[in-house]
């Protein structure tokens, strides 16, 4: 993974554009994500939040625009490239390895990335300890031998977060990590996000819950119809008239 | 006794085919129908090297593995870009093309006449011409294949294969070039099928294209579906059951002219019942 420079934005996009069958999902968007901060991306449904996350993680190819990671413009990303740039993510609709155990869901991202060394790698205590640590942090250690398919909705969300934490990335893209969680689980995720920030990691959240956004975000970006509507501190942005009109329809 | 040793040899050959195909279908989730082709390439390579060049059996097996692996590498480079229906269709196409080559490249394969007079293995003067020695050789090859497959599925590489099967897109964002993993497991699996082909060719001492049709791929698929996907012991059980069934039918008193069709009927019924009652197979950990 690349070394981070605190002065440069962790992530930036310049003139990013993405269409889906004639529908403009991201429209000439330019924005930057501050290093070591928690940035929330908000906006009404269809505003381009998840499309932006998917583009930043190489799942969608933009038709136009550039992406800069830690100050360096990167060529069009493939999904397998993003980890090498120190980026990890969770998905809006959880994408776990259903017929694998909770422990294996985490261990698999700790494996050596080269094919031949991974073929020779069998049991690694270091990886096991790392997996134990992230599963304990997400209260899933007791469930380690269960299949991911048998977890509750909230536990599935937590396992996705645990899987991302195991990568020890610099930039975390969390797509609606709080959606559908019980209050106790919300506290767990809250604690994880705070500790990531303390470690100097960059967190990008796509979230709808305004109270949570106010409590945890350092910076808020508001998207509407694929364009940047507003950005700034939570208090400043969430009280802006244009934001209230676009987001709450008032 | 001879008959019993014959069954053991056939079981070992088909168990090798089942184990190796399970790596691709059961563990990686790629529905491949290429196995009869690689089985055939291994068989033809060994048969030709032994009858034309008079090479040592083990050297011929080794060259067969190299040739099969190279062909698997080239076809796998294309197939690994796909999954699901497209992968299956591509693999069926390859199997049919290979059969056509076996049938029509008469200068090399002697076409429908096949290759006869393939010598039994011989190493340092020890000939495997007796049934007991050949059965032992086949069982040793099965043991080595089983241990190799177990090593693969228990490694980190094996865990990534399962993740590819579960959600290829999700594992990619964690930095894995899944194409490479799919390609490598495909080549390893083909190399193992080649060994089974070498054993088959030298066991029956005669091969022709009719053994390596798409139906043979379906039969090998049936072995792993019956025994269980993503379970190595399942492949052994699947091979045992499907090798024994026709032999048991032999004693059921059916006239010879309908015995073959009865076997197909029994296979079909077994697969139908499995799909309805236990889609993951007898010991399987994964449903297609």
* Terminal-to-terminal C-alpha distance of chain B: 39
Say yes or no for a CB contact (<8 Å) between A88 and B180.
Answer: no
Q: How far apart are CA A166 and CA B100, in angstroms?
A: 50
Q: What is the ipTM of this complex?
A: 0.89
Pairing between β-strand A72-74 and β-strand A23-33 as defined by DSSP bridges: unpaired
* Probe site for chain A from B81, B147, B152, B156 (most A CB atoms < 10 A): B156
Minimum CA–CA partner of A163 in chain B: B174
Interface contact A40, partner B, CB < 8 A = no
Shortest Cα distance, chain B CAs vs residue A244, angstroms: 34
Across chain A, what does the average pLDDT equal?
Answer: 90
Question: Token pair for residue B218?
Answer: 């379906």
Q: How far apart are CA A88 and CA A41, in angstroms?
A: 16
Per residue, what are the HEC states of A171-189?
Answer: EEEEECCCCCCCHHHHHHH
Minimum CA–CA partner of B166 in chain A: A97
- Can you give the pLDDT at residue A7? 64
Shortest Cα distance, chain B CAs vs residue A83, angstroms: 5
Q: Which residues of A touch B172 (CB under 8 A)?
A: 78-80
Minimum CA–CA partner of B158 in chain A: A119
Q: Where are the alpha helices (DSSP H) in B173-213?
A: 178-204
Q: Which residues of B touch A118 (CB under 8 A)?
A: 155-157, 160
Asked whether the beta carbons of A4 and A70 are under 8 A apart, the reply is: yes
pTM of the predicted protein model: 0.91
**C-beta neighbour count of B264 within 10 angstroms:** 12
A217-246 residue pLDDT tens: 999 999 988 999 889 998 888 888 877 777
Q: How far apart are CA B247 and CA A153, in angstroms?
A: 50
Q: How far apart are CA A181 and CA A191, in angstroms?
A: 14
* Probe site for chain B from A55, A118, A120 (most B CB atoms < 10 A): A118
Tell me which H or E stretch contains B122.
Answer: strand B122-123
Crossing angle (nearest 10°) for helices A153-166 and A102-110: 20
Asked whether the beta carbons of A121 and A108 are under 8 A apart, the reply is: no
- Can you give the pLDDT at residue B29? 94
Say yes or no for a CB contact (<8 Å) between B184 and A115.
Answer: yes
Residue A2's pLDDT band (cuts 50, 70, 90): very low
Question: Token pair for residue A220?
Answer: 């808020």
Of A91, A96, A119, the CB nearest to B155: A119
pLDDT in tens, chain B (288 residues): 888 999 999 999 999 999 999 999 999 999 999 999 999 999 999 999 999 988 889 999 999 999 999 999 999 999 988 888 999 999 999 999 999 999 999 999 999 999 999 999 987 778 888 999 999 999 999 999 999 999 999 999 999 999 999 999 999 999 999 999 999 999 999 999 999 999 999 999 999 999 999 999 999 999 999 999 999 999 999 999 999 887 777 777 777 677 777 777 887 888 888 888 888 888 887 776
- Can you give the pLDDT at residue A209? 87
- Is A10 a residue whose pLDDT tops 80? yes
- Is A52 a residue whose pLDDT tops 80? yes
DSSP summary character for residue B189? H
Crossing angle (nearest 10°) for helices B35-48 and B57-79: 150
- Can you give the pLDDT at residue A249? 59
Q: How far apart are CA A172 and CA A161, in angstroms?
A: 9
Q: How distant, in Å, are the alpha carbons of B113, B152, B164, B201 from that of B68?
A: 23, 20, 24, 15
DSSP summary character for residue B116? E
Task: Tell me how long chain B is.
Answer: 288
Q: Which residues of A touch B171 (CB under 8 A)?
A: 97, 108
Shortest Cα distance, chain B CAs vs residue A146, angstroms: 13
How would you list the strands of the sheet with A38-42, edge to edge? A87-89, A171-175, A202-206, A38-42, A219-224, A227-232
- Can you give the pLDDT at residue B280? 84
Residues 134-193 of A with CB under 8 A from B: 163, 167
Sign of the Cα pseudo-torsion (B238, B243, B244, B246, in order): positive
Domains of chain B, by residue range, sit at 2-212
- Average confidence (pLDDT) over A148-157: 95
Name, in order, each residue with C-beta under 8 angstroms of B145's C-beta and a sequence gap of 6 or more. Answer: B15, B16, B19, B20, B192, B195
Per residue, what are the HEC states of chain A?
Answer: CCCCCCCCCCEEEEEEEEEECCEEEEEEEEEEECCCCEEEEECCCCCCHHHHHHHHCCCCCCCEEEEEECCEEECCCCHHHHHHHCEEECCCCCCCCCCCEHHHHHHHHHCCCCHHHHHHCCCCHHHHHHHHHHHHHCCCHHHCCCEHHHCCHHHHHHHHHHHHHHCCCCEEEEECCCCCCCHHHHHHHHHHHHHHHHCCCEEEEECCCHHHHHHHCCEEEEEECCEEEEEECHHHHHCCHHHHHHHHCC
Q: Radius of gyration (Cα) for chain B, nearest Å?
A: 18
């Amino acid at each position: 993974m690349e070394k981070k420079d605190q002065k440069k934005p962790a992530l930036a996009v310049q003139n990013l554009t993405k269409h889906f069958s004639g529908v403009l999902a991201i429209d000439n968007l330019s924005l930057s994500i501050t290093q070591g901060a928690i940035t929330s991306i908000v906006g009404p449904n269809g505003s381009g939040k998840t499309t932006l996350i998917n583009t930043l993680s190489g799942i969608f190819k933009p038709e136009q625009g550039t992406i800069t990671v830690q100050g360096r413009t990167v060529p069009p990303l493939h999904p397998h490239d993003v980890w090498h740039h120190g980026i990890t993510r969770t998905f809006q609709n959880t994408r776990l390895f259903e017929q694998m155990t909770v422990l294996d869901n985490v261990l698999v991202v700790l494996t050596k990335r080269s094919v031949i060394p991974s073929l020779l790698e069998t049991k690694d205590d270091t990886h096991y300890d790392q997996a134990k640590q992230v599963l304990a942090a997400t209260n899933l250690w007791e469930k380690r031998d269960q299949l991911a398919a048998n977890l509750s909705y909230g536990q599935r969300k937590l396992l996705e977060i645990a899987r991302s934490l195991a990568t020890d990335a610099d930039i975390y893209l969390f797509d609606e990590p709080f959606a559908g969680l019980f209050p106790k689980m919300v506290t767990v995720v809250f604690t994880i996000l705070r500790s990531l920030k303390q470690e100097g990691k960059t967190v990008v959240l796509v979230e709808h819950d305004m109270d949570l956004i106010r409590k945890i975000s350092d910076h808020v970006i508001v998207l509407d119809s694929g364009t940047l509507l507003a950005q700034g501190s939570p208090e400043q942005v969430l009280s802006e008239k244009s934001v209230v009109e676009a987001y709450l329809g008032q | 006794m001879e008959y019993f040793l014959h069954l053991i040899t056939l079981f070992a050959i088909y168990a090798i085919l089942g184990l190796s195909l399970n790596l691709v279908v059961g563990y990686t989730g790629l529905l491949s129908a290429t196995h009869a082709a690689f089985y055939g390439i291994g068989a033809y390579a060994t048969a030709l090297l032994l009858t034309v060049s008079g090479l040592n059996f083990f050297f011929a097996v080794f060259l067969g593995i190299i040739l099969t692996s190279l062909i698997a590498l080239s076809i796998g480079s294309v197939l690994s870009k796909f999954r699901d229906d497209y992968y299956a269709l591509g693999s069926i196409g390859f199997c049919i093309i290979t059969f056509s080559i076996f049938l029509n490249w008469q200068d090399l394969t002697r076409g429908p006449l096949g290759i006869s007079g393939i010598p039994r293995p011989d190493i340092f003067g020890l000939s495997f011409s007796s049934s007991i020695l050949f059965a032992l050789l086949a069982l040793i090859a099965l043991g080595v294949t089983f241990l190799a497959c177990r090593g693969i599925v228990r490694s980190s590489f094996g865990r990534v294969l399962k993740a590819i099967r579960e959600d290829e897109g999700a594992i990619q964002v964690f930095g894995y070039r899944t194409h490479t993993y799919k390609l490598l497991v495909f080549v390893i699996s083909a190399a193992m099928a080649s060994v089974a082909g070498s054993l088959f060719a030298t066991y029956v001492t005669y091969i022709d294209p009719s053994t390596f049709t798409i139906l043979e791929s379906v039969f090998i698929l049936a072995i792993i579906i019956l025994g269980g996907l993503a379970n190595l012991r399942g492949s052994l059980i699947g091979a045992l059951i499907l090798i024994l069934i026709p032999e048991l039918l032999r004693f059921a008193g059916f006239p010879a002219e309908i015995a073959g069709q009865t076997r197909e009927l029994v296979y079909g019924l077994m697969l139908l019942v499995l799909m309805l009652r236990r889609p993951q197979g007898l010991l399987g950990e994964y449903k297609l």
